[in-house]
Chain A
Amino acid sequence: MSNIVNIEYNRVTNTTSTDFPGFSKDGDNAWDVQKFRDNFDINISSINERDANFDLVHIYTSLANAFRRIMMSEVPSVAAEYVYFMNNTSVIQDEVLAHRIGLVPLKIDPDMLTWVDKTLSEEEKFTDENTVVLSLNVKCTRNPDAPKDCTDPRILYKNAHVYARDLKFEPQGKQKETFADRPVVPCDPEILLAKLRPGQEISLRVHCILGVGGDHAKFSPVSTASYRLLPQINIIQPITGDSAKRFQSCFPKGVIDINGEGEAVVADARKDTVSREVLRHEEFEGKVQLGRVRDHFIFNVESTGAMTPEEIFFKSVRILKNKAEYLKNCPIGQS
């Protein structure tokens, strides 16, 4: 069976993988690490601090999906979990502000902290090993130097807008040394937390701890982690002349080229969004076949900024391996 998922006018066919022993005469399809090592391929298209785009080729959907799921909900990261309000006379309520602070991504390497034991009492729970403390102390005042006819609150008042960068890191105990070369800051300093008017003030302390995205989205190290299958366009009969131009306009820019003889050729199927526009036109009926390669996954991973995308992917692979290892070491009980 081919490994192409066929995309037709109103249906998708050949979606299930059949690469199991006993399914077909050709190839035994049994699991073989060496075979997998020879076939499996990774191509990195782009990678930087914040996002990455890479292909996993010749891997199984269940695995690709497991990595995606783990990246989103099981790779640990640090976020604000407890907010202690000393004073809040702003119009934004305590619980709403606390929630907003929780969602601010922080530049902390999760490996620097250990897990908080939630069974301990409030006094023993937080230590310099498992908690990062931030504080926010802002008071809004009038700006005496503001021009008379000014209406912009940012000029009229001082501290009218409270941003994520106003969260100040307070190193506890040995954190003075351990965090010396990378003090804790928000990944995006420009996030607006609250707006104030003269006389209003906010004073609070935040405890940031380790967590996983499955418990709360604020602990997810990725903004998005997604994959799509590589599109494939098969031109069965030549399409030429004006028809080729119309054919080209059915696809996003750069997907279809027109060669010297005026014939439409596929330039870059990867750029296609598989909108199926081409299948709506009678003139192309039977001339083109759309599909997706079932075992070619184009991953897109966007980090929130605490870790690099490749680190997040590495961790997801290790977490899956640990899950298997942990389960293997558990004795099988009888119920």
Chain B
Amino acid sequence: MSVQDKKVTSDSEDVDMTKDETVNTAEQIKENVKEAEEEDDEEEEEEDQIDREKIKILPQATSEDGTCASFQILEEDHTLGNPLRYIIMKNPQVEFAGYSIPHPSENLLNLRIQTYGEITAVEALQKGLDDLMALCDVVEQKFTDEIKQL
């Protein structure tokens, strides 16, 4: 078991080294450190290029049926938080959506979603992200058309 664990860790380190250059160094180092720390909790299945630390659910603030949940997102700020909050609020099945940056020197974002019970908070979040992407596509397309007309 422990041999396998070690293999998983070293493999994922390799992945990190060859990772897309856009990922910044601090992130990689942090990940490596965390992986080393949480060696025991490590999932056995190896997933390539997946950022497992990016978003996690906060269990203390999550209801059992999953209709209310708080998420913690690393390395994001108002740039993503505010549009995401807005677009999730526009979902009629969502009762409440809000975000906060608990401390300015910690680069993380807390997002709270409560639904009326028809969908889970995770589903509301996924829909929000989809809607946000669709919105960006519309903006890009309209701007392209406008530039072409000049």
Which residues on A are within 8 Å of B, measured CB to CB? 19-22, 28-31, 33, 36-37, 40-44, 47, 54, 56, 59-60, 62-63, 65-66, 69-70, 74, 114-119, 130, 310, 313-314, 317-318, 320-321, 323-335
Contacts and interface: CB of A to CB of B under 8 A. Distances in A.
Given A320-B79, A328-B129, A333-B57, A30 B72 contact: no
A31 B91 contact: yes
27 contacts: A29-B90, A30-B90, A33-B131, A40-B142, A42-B143, A47-B147, A69-B79, A74-B79, A114-B21, A117-B25, A119-B28, A119-B29, A310-B143, A313-B143, A314-B140, A317-B140, A317-B143, A318-B140, A320-B83, A320-B132, A323-B80, A325-B133, A332-B122, A333-B52, A334-B57, A334-B59, A335-B56
B25 A327 contact: no
B92 A28 contact: yes
A150 to B, nearest CB: 51
B44 to A, nearest CB: 15
B132 A324 contact: yes
Nearest to B54: A330
Contacts of A329: 50
Contacts of A328: 126, 129-130, 133
Contact of B129 (A29, A118, A327): A327
Given A30-B91, A114-B21, A331-B50, A324 B80 contact: yes
Contact of B136 (A19, A20, A321): A321
Contacts of B22: 115
Contact of A327 (B55, B58, B122, B143): B55
B15 interface: no
Contacts of B71: 332
A119 B25 contact: yes
Of the four ranges (under 10, 10 to 19, 20 to 34, 35 or more), the interface on chain B belongs to 35 or more
A108 B3 CA distance: 49
Interface in B2-58: 17, 21-22, 24-25, 28-29, 47, 50-58
Contacts of B92: 21-22, 28, 30
Contacts of B146: 42-44, 54
Contact of B150 (A19, A44, A70, A330): A44
Nearest to A313: B143
Contacts of B68: none
A303 B21 CA distance: 26
A333 B55 contact: yes
A109 B72 CA distance: 35
Contacts of B73: 327
A26 to B, nearest CB: 15
Contacts of A42: 139, 142-143, 146
Contact of B52 (A62, A115, A118, A330): A330
B56 A332 contact: yes
Closest A-B pairs by Cβ, 3 of them: A115-B21, A321-B136, A31-B90
B86 A41 contact: no
B139 A327 contact: no
B67 to A, nearest CB: 15
